[in-house]
Structure 1
Amino acid sequence: MAPLSLRPVLGLLGGLSGVCVIVHLLATPQTYYNFLIWNLFLAWLPFLFSTAALALNGRRRLGPAGLFALGILGVAWLLLLPNSPYVLTDLIHLTVRRELYTEAGRLVLTYWTDFLLIFTFAWTGIILGMLSLYQFQYIIFTRTNMAVSWLFAALASLLSGYGILLGREYRLNSWDVLGKPSAVLDIVSDTLEPSSIIVCLFFGTVLLMMYATVHTLLGLAARDSRSWPY
């Protein structure tokens, strides 16, 4: 497992984010979808935390204070991670506003422009989340082994699926764990039912499959780059 080369990754993600904002400002004069910009900002946070953790982990010697800081970054990252794939669920707004997208029983052009707009934001959020998870899996890999790192990735994916449920259905934010702990505990107890568990497992499994795909592609790219003569 190889570390990410941050310069091209940051260039790619920054470019994607810029395209998202520019397309939104130029193609959608209405303000309804302005929340996408906020959600994209939240999607960046786990990547920033994982990048900071990766830099800290790269130091030769980490004393107790360094390990404690790494743990704090890890907890914050895990709480924020669902924000990245969460943007994909914003596609539900196309269903909520479906009466505005039909005319004489057919979809109007605005539907497709809004669909592509949301999908572009969602794609950027997903890539941010996948690369962020890759960074933290690499940290776990350097301190344990490959099997433990994949167990960590699977657990993080399942918890992200649960976080998406809490965010979409119960309108909880990552920081509510600190600001409204009692309300979070009440909602968590309400979600311990078969239907919620199935939804979480479904989301988590899909995220893990997506991540495994990205992980495989990154591995192939790293192997091919070593074999290039230039």
Structure 2
Amino acid sequence: MFTFSLQVWGILFLSIFFSPHSPYVITDLIQIVNPIAIVWINILILIIFAISDLLRGILSMMDAFSNLQKHNYPINANLIILSVSLISGFGFFLGKSIRFNSWHLIARPQLLIAYTFKSLVI
């Protein structure tokens, strides 16, 4: 049986809770439909921020993974990183496709739960 110390759970929670939504920023590039109407410097800045945020997200996941492995949880580290990646991907789907935001967790949780289950059932 694997047990995590309170410190490991705290670090894991903070790393997931404050993890950058780096792939989400990359999807903002898709919304540029008419680049001529937008100033090129804005596009360049968005691309730079998207790439740096993506790298920061990858480094954050690598850091969380290495911290879990240091505490002798290699199998759990793989499962946790895989779970966080899948949940994050589903969160991006809810945000981009269904247009939910984080504040829906507080303001309209029933609606968020209903749409989440509706989207999971094919």
TM bucket normalised to smaller? 0.7 to 0.9
Within 5 Å, give how 1:121-200 maps onto structure 2.
Answer: 121-194=49-122
More helix by share: 1
Q: CA RMSD in A?
A: 3.0
Q: Is the 8 A contact 2:8 2:68 kept in 1?
A: no
Deviation, structure 1 residue 147: 3.6
2:36 matched to which residue of 1? 101
**Contact (CA 8 Å) 1:80, 1:174: kept in 2 or not?**
no
- State the alpha-carbon separation in 1 of the partners of residues 12 and 102 from structure 2: 14
Aligned mates of 1:173, 1:140 — CA distance in 2:
30
Shift in Å at residue 125 of structure 1?
1.2
User: Structure 2: which 5+ runs fail to align?
Assistant: none
When residues 150 and 114 of structure 1 are mapped into structure 2, their CA distance, relative to the original with a 3 A threshold, is: same
What percentage of aligned pairs have identical amino acids?
A: 26
Equivalent residue pairs, number: 119
Q: In 2, Cα distance between the equivalents of 1:144 and 1:176? A: 37
CA 1:81–1:179: 2 relative to 1, 3 Å: farther
Asked which structure has the greater CA Rg, the reply is 1
Which aligned segments of 4 or more residues in structure 1 are displaced greater than 6 angstroms? none
Cα separation, partners in 2 of 1:78 and 1:181, compared to 1, 3 Å? farther
| TM, length-normalised to structure 1 | 0.43
Q: Where do residues 108-123 of structure 1 align in structure 2 (5 Å cutoff)? A: 110=38, 112-123=40-51
Quick one: distance in 2 between partners of 1:176 and 1:70? 29
Normalization by structure 2: what TM-score?
0.72
Counterpart residue type for residue 145 of structure 1: Y
**Separation in structure 2 between the aligned mates of residue 80 and residue 162 of structure 1, nearest angstrom:** 17
Q: Which ranges in structure 1 are unaligned for 5 or more consecutive residues?
A: 1-63, 103-109, 195-230
